[in-house]
Amino acid sequence: MSIIALLTDYGLKDHYVGTIKGVIKTINPKVEIIDISHNIELGNVLAANFLLVQSFKFFPINTIFISIVDPDVGSKCEPILIQTKNYYFIGRNNGVFSQVLENEIIEKIIVLDNDNYFLKPISNTFHGRDIFAPIAAYLSKGINPKEFGKEINSNYLFNLPLPKPLIKEDVIEGNIIYVDSFGNLITNIHKNILKNELSKYIIKINNIEIKGICSTFSDVRAKDIVCYIGSSQYLEIASNFDNLDKKNPDLKNQKIIVIYKVD
Amino acid sequence: MSIIALLTDYGLKDHYVGTIKGVIKTINPKVEIIDISHNIELGNVLAANFLLVQSFKFFPINTIFISIVDPDVGSKCEPILIQTKNYYFIGRNNGVFSQVLENEIIEKIIVLDNDNYFLKPISNTFHGRDIFAPIAAYLSKGINPKEFGKEINSNYLFNLPLPKPLIKEDVIEGNIIYVDSFGNLITNIHKNILKNELSKYIIKINNIEIKGICSTFSDVRAKDIVCYIGSSQYLEIASNFDNLDKKNPDLKNQKIIVIYKVD
Amino acid sequence: MSIIALLTDYGLKDHYVGTIKGVIKTINPKVEIIDISHNIELGNVLAANFLLVQSFKFFPINTIFISIVDPDVGSKCEPILIQTKNYYFIGRNNGVFSQVLENEIIEKIIVLDNDNYFLKPISNTFHGRDIFAPIAAYLSKGINPKEFGKEINSNYLFNLPLPKPLIKEDVIEGNIIYVDSFGNLITNIHKNILKNELSKYIIKINNIEIKGICSTFSDVRAKDIVCYIGSSQYLEIASNFDNLDKKNPDLKNQKIIVIYKVD
């Protein structure tokens, strides 16, 4: 028994997610379906990347991920299936898997152009139901990926990499790449590019200056702003007992400057 | 193994949906539960109809659907079970299945009045937990529908049909029947009542005039209003890269006029 | 096959809940996961208590409940496992199980301090992924609770009991303990402390006076305020066809006075 994990911007108000699950279960009653999120900001491919990067390695080997975030509904980005050493990824060729693939070994990329495995009639606006769900379900039943279409080279993948921080000696200039539902701001500054003495860093964002990277929220007083290495492995900025993004909604659009202070 | 699919206006903040699942699993650990939506607008029976009509045919044969939308909590609309050729529907006799039944062959309608299969004590306000969940669970275990109560005639069904569009020669006057979470307005104008030359139609709603029915969103420029045949099979109106309902919240209450323009 | 039921304040926008499910499924592919709610008000331990008390008894015997509500993220409240006669409860020792335990027979309490069963490296901010999910998964596989850490005495449990109403002869002074998504206000006045003649009660809250406790919503006219014994077994106050909390958001902070009127 395998797992199909779903990540979409469909929301949870309509029937869309339920319908996709019905399609999958009709084709393969034995496969298990797990939701990662259906509340990605509409069309935000970078947010979809972040959520998938943060979650996929925690799923069992051979999990099939469907990620549907489609800023340009009905556009011509082909539907693709990417098989890596450990997982399968199904979605549109719009960069939605770029960041996952930075750390995965690609084994095969298939353009999903064999409509024998599609639901008919194919709508123009709900490929989640008509293409992605049935392909994932047939794949979970053991159909060979080659059956779904022609193989392509990874050069054909639309690439939307994580913006890299600028590093100049002891100064790092980063960006906010995701805001979670607690209002915590997650940056693109990975802990691996920081030195061990975290207390020696000074963090500047807008006109805010924070001294030292803490272990966790409770290292600062209530309502104070705190910098810490998040469960994401990236530097995060938050307000203890508070929603930093709601309190200061402009912060997420600002550069973040991290300075290592030599004594 | 069979499936129970849930559609309610309970929301996802409280324990209500989880409690229903606990009740079902206690009675039949083997049945699988799939959520269609729990965010139907409170008491909106027409919206529940739309979501169920759009999704039920994509579920495996013999799926048991529970649809709970109860504008008049604790009212006297009896709980019923409808068995059709392919599916089972459990809910209150308040019209919540009217549109589904327009295309299904009814085999049996049972009023759920045998309280041997209810959870005791029965509350006045949470029949989802005390009546609908246990009945669905026992049904999924193979209990004969006749055990749950007395059979009734379809004349006793409260009927809440889809409002039909008015058709006068080349002019169709329709309504918005559902607004999805993207702000797309879905009308009651089915593609089957439209002629093939979709580009020859002119669509009027409020003081907006749209020329031609497109294939999909990306046929128009960003922020432009687009008419297209949706995955629902109905004519839909949306704004590309935008939430039309948020931008123009009054539109959903307006008539939509669709005119076929002979050259 | 057993069940792990989840109750958190993580929300449904991010990857957090999906990641937890991935962790569980990787350790025990056979266990079933059911969501109670992930939309508890952030850090509201009393709300978590209410939702768990209302739902847990409806789940199958041996269900493992994870309840994560952590007002003080990364604080020093130890992670614990409580085994009762019928269920298992996993969470932080911050009172999140206090009200459940008022009616359960405790068999064993374990402090989860054996990090052999944790996910490594352990983050400071996502113990749901790194501690609670793997412990629940291993427990569902049959690992003996004693393996997870040292046993402690129930005196060490942080206690956050349900505030009890004051009773003085025929007058009860209670509080609102939960507001559900319909805006219904749920009090701490259990039906067991009320006399049978419910129509003889007068209920006062703020400057509102309600005569009699009804059976259900439809006993009063639309928009009227109604008092009734809810599915929670507690006295609830609501507005028929309306969201009482939205209409009158201050009510939830008021005392509620219930007076039995002898003729």
What residue ranges in chain B does DSSP mark as E strands?
Answer: 3-8, 32-37, 64-68, 79-84, 88-92, 106-111, 166-168, 171-174, 176-179, 185-190, 201-205, 208-211, 225-229, 234-239, 256-260
Decide: A261 and A201 in contact? Cβ < 8 Å.
Answer: yes
Residue of chain C with shortest Cα separation from B31: C32
Q: pLDDT tens for residues C238-248?
A: 998 889 999 99
What percent of chain C clears pLDDT 70, i.e. is strictly above it?
98
CB contact under 8 A, C72 and A38: no
- Number of residues assigned to chain A: 263
Please list, in sequence order, all residues whose beta carbon lies within 8 angstroms of the beta carbon of residue A250, skipping any fewer than 6 positions away: A206
What burial class does residue B57 get, using C-beta atoms within 10 Å of its C-beta: 0-12 exposed, 13-18 middle, 19+ buried? Answer: middle
Cα angle B54-B55-B60, degrees, rounded to a multiple of 5: 145
Q: Report the alpha-carbon distance of residue B87 to residue A108 in Å, rounded.
A: 40
Is the CA virtual torsion A228, A233, A237, A239 positive or negative?
negative
Provide the H-helix boundaries in chain A: 16-27, 45-55, 98-101, 127, 133-140, 244-247
Look up the pTM and report it: 0.96
Q: Mind telling me how many Å the CA of B14 is from chain C's nearest CA? A: 6
Q: What is the pLDDT of residue A68?
A: 96
Res. B82: pLDDT tops 60: yes
pLDDT in tens, C117-168: 999 999 988 999 999 999 999 999 999 999 999 999 999 999 998 889 999 9
Q: Measured between CA atoms, how close is A58 to chain C, in angstroms?
A: 5
* Mean pLDDT, residues B181-195: 95
Name the H helices within C196-256: 244-247
Tokens of B254: 């307006």
Query: Rounded to whole angstroms, how far apart are CA atoms A23 and A132?
Result: 10
Provide the percentage of residues in chain A whose pLDDT is more than 70. 98
**CB atoms inside a 10 Å sphere around CB B4:** 24
CA dihedral A140, A143, A149, A151 (to 10 degrees): 90
Confidence check: pLDDT of B209 > 60? yes
| C145 backbone dihedrals φ, ψ, rounded to 5° | -50, -35
Strands B225-229 and B208-211: unpaired
Phi, psi of B17 (to 5 degrees): -65, -40
The pLDDT score that the predictor gives to residue C73 is 62
Mean pLDDT (whole number) for B239-263: 92
Mutate to test the interface with B, among A1, A9, A15 (most CBs of B within 10 A): A15
Q: What angle do CA B6, A62, C33 make, to 5 degrees?
A: 35
Answer yes or no: is pLDDT of A190 > 90.
yes
| Block residue for tokens 């539109």 | B251
- Average the pLDDT over B57-71 and give the result: 95
Whether C231 sits inside 8 A of B11 (CB atoms) is: no
Question: Are the beta carbons of B226 and B240 closer than 8 angstroms?
Answer: yes
CB atoms < 10 A from the CB of B143, how many?
15
Partnered with residue C173 across adjacent β-strands are C166, C257
The whole-angstrom distance between residue B164's C-alpha and the CA centroid of its chain comes to 16
Q: Is the peptide bond before A79 cis (omega within 30 degrees of 0)?
A: no
From the list C18, C29, C124, the residue facing A37 with the nearest CB is C18
Beta strand C171-174 with B208-211: parallel, antiparallel or unpaired?
A: unpaired
Percentage of chain B lying above the pLDDT 70 cut: 98
Most confidently predicted of B65-74, B133-142, B214-223, C220-229: B133-142
pLDDT band at C70 (very low <50, low <70, confident <90, very high): confident
How far apart CA C57 and CA C86 sit, in angstroms, is 9
- CB-CB under 8 Å, A14 with B217: no
Q: Please judge whether B51 and A15 are an interchain contact, meaning their C-beta atoms are less than 8 angstroms apart.
A: yes
Between the two ends of chain C, the Cα-to-Cα distance in Å is 57
Touching subunits for chain C (3+ Cβ pairs under 8 A): A, B
Q: Give the number of other Cβ atoms within 10 Å of residue C263's Cβ.
A: 4
Decide if C34 and B25 are in contact by the 8 Å CB cutoff. yes
The tens digit of pLDDT for each residue in C78-94 reads 999 999 999 999 999 99
Among B122-126, B182-186, C154-158, the least confident range: B122-126
CB B191 within 8 A of CB B229: yes
Which segment of A191-205, B52-66, B171-185, C212-226 scores lowest on mean pLDDT? Answer: C212-226
Please say if the pLDDT value at position A263 is more than 80.
no
| pLDDT exceeds 80 at position B99 | yes
Average pLDDT over residues A13-19: 98
The mean of the pLDDT values for chain A is 94
Supply the DSSP string of B204-239, one letter for each residue.
Answer: EETTEEEES-BSSGGGS-TT-EEEEE-TTSEEEEEE
CA atoms within 13 A on the CB side of B244: 23
Q: Which residues of B touch C198 (CB under 8 A)?
A: none
CA A194, A196, A200, A203 torsion-angle sign:
positive
User: Looking at the partner chain, which of B17, B29, B73 has a beta carbon nearest the beta carbon of C1?
Assistant: B29
Mean pLDDT of chain B: 94
Handedness of CA C49, C55, C58, C59 (dihedral sign): negative
Comparison of pLDDT for A142 and A262, the residue scoring more: A142
Q: Which of residues 134-193 of B touch A (CB under 8 A)?
A: 180-182
Set of chain B residues whose Cβ sits within 8 Å of the Cβ of A19: 36, 54-55, 58
Q: Please give the backbone phi and psi of residue C66, each rounded to the nearest 5 degrees, phi first.
A: -105, 125
Distance CA A242, CA A251 (A): 15
Reported as a single tens digit per residue, the pLDDT across A78-117 is 999 999 999 999 999 999 999 999 989 999 999 999 999 9
Single-letter amino acid, residue B30: K
Phi-psi map region of B96: left, alpha, beta (phi>0 left; psi -120 to 50 alpha): alpha
Cβ-count burial A83-103 (b if 16+ within 10 Å, e if not)? bbeebbbbbbbbbbbbbbbee
Which tokens in the block code for residue C171? 């007058």
pLDDT in the model for residue B222: 81
pLDDT in tens, C163-184: 899 999 999 999 999 999 999 9
**Cβ-Cβ contacts under 8 Å for A142 (sequence gap 6 or more):** none
* Whether C125 contacts A217, CB under 8 Å: yes
CB contact under 8 A, A182 and C11: yes
What is the pLDDT, as a whole number, of residue C1? 56
Measured CA distances, A63 to A136, A141, B55, B137 (Å): 10, 12, 25, 30
Long-range contacts: C100-106, Cβ < 8 Å, 24+? C100/C49, C100/C52, C100/C53, C100/C56, C101/C157, C102/C161, C102/C162, C106/C82, C106/C154
- Sign of the CA dihedral A182, A183, A188, A193? negative
Beta carbons of C65 and C132 less than 8 angstroms apart: no
Q: How far apart are CA A73 and CA A70, in angstroms?
A: 6
Measured CA to CA, the distance from residue A32 to residue A140 in angstroms comes to 10
Q: Which residues 6+ apart lie within 8 Å of C239 measured at CB?
A: C183, C223, C224, C225, C226, C247
Measured between CB atoms, which of A12, A42, A125 is closest to B216?
A125
Q: Is the pLDDT of residue B74 over 70?
A: no
Cβ–Cβ < 8 Å for C4, C140: yes
Q: In terms of pLDDT, which residue wins out, B40 or C219?
A: B40
The per-residue pLDDT for range C219-255, each reduced to its tens digit, is 788 888 999 999 999 999 999 888 999 999 999 999 9
- Separation between Cα atoms, residue B168 and residue B53, nearest integer Å: 27
CB contact under 8 A, C217 and B125: yes
